[in-house]
Amino acid sequence: MERVGFIGLGRMGRPMASNMCRKGFHLTVYDVNADAVAELASLQARPAASVAEVAKESDVIITMLPNSAIVGHVVSGPGGVLENAKSGALILDMSTVDPETTLRLAREAAAKGLGFVDAPVGRLASHADRGESLFMVGGSDKDFKRVEPMLKAMGSTIYHCGEVGSGTKTKLVNNFLAVASCQMNAEALALSQQFGLTLERTLEVLYGTTAFNGQLKIAWPDKVLAGDIAPGFTIDLAHKDLTLVVESANAAKVPMPMAAAAREAFSQARARGFGGNDFSAMVDAHCDAANIRKPRLAK
């Protein structure tokens, strides 16, 4: 079995690495949060003192990090993965970053005799807890087969989308629809509240028409409409992803007026102090701004 390094033990990375440990993988782990490293050590992972130590000890180096800048620094910066990984190792980046970062790092990895696969995640932290993450994977057939057992240890659904960069690009398309729909749902439910409509009956009607969407029917009733705004995926992170969508689309000369409008709505929510809440709480932010009672299902 290949030796695996795991860098980034945040809300998503920690349960993913934990599931790998439970399924027999031998991990070397690193994070700036010592408590996260200690938690993985209790599952028999080997704690590392630096990114460089992880890279030197591993055949496959997994990164699960917050943004493009941090991924770039960890992989290609001083003391990073590229400086310290042995020839023939493979980098598996599961972060959500801009496509140019993915492609640049893949080129730099190839120049050093390293493989590179991008495999951003398409579900929430609660899915990661249960080992039910969804992965959108970009990489060669050979490299995909190499990382597939690791992805299966962390998730239940894996799509090989094409060559390097395809996973990251697919993630941005997916997140544009998932995140932007939150703003449309927020405005629709705020309007229903102001009209004095019954929330339960309004949802029943929407679920039976083409207005139906997965956020409104599957996610929201168990989150914001039940009064639970604890973050599975924060408004701050959703705003970051919409920024990646808009900027990547601009670079590709694809107009995205809906994405731009949604991003500004998320900017307003962040400015009003909602950034750390679950992204379903966009409806709370919108109602708060309009002085409308927050919609809640009867318990």
pLDDT tens, residue by residue, 41-67: 999 999 999 999 999 999 999 999 999
Domain boundaries, the chain: 4-164, 169-290
Residues designated as active site: 171
pLDDT at 72 over 90: yes
How much is the pTM? Answer: 0.92
pLDDT at 295 over 90: yes
Total residues found in the chain within this entry: 299
For the chain, give the percent of residues with pLDDT over 70.
100
**E strand segments, the chain:** 4-7, 27-30, 46-47, 60-63, 90-93, 115-118, 133-138, 155-162
pLDDT at residue 9, rounded to an integer: 97
Which band of pLDDT confidence, cut at 50, 70 and 90, is reported for residue 187?
very high
pLDDT at residue 230, rounded to an integer: 95
Which band of pLDDT confidence, cut at 50, 70 and 90, is reported for residue 178?
very high
The per-residue pLDDT for range 114-173, each reduced to its tens digit, is 999 999 999 888 899 999 999 999 999 999 999 999 999 999 999 999 999 999 999 999
CATH, domain range 4-164: 3.40.50.720
The predicted model gives 175-202 an average pLDDT of: 96
pLDDT at residue 116, rounded to an integer: 98
Q: Which CATH architecture has domain 169-290?
A: Orthogonal Bundle (1.10)
pLDDT at residue 123, rounded to an integer: 86
Which band of pLDDT confidence, cut at 50, 70 and 90, is reported for residue 299?
confident
pLDDT at residue 107, rounded to an integer: 98
pLDDT at residue 286, rounded to an integer: 97
Asked if residue 150 lies in contact with residue 20, where contact means CB atoms within 8 angstroms, the answer is yes
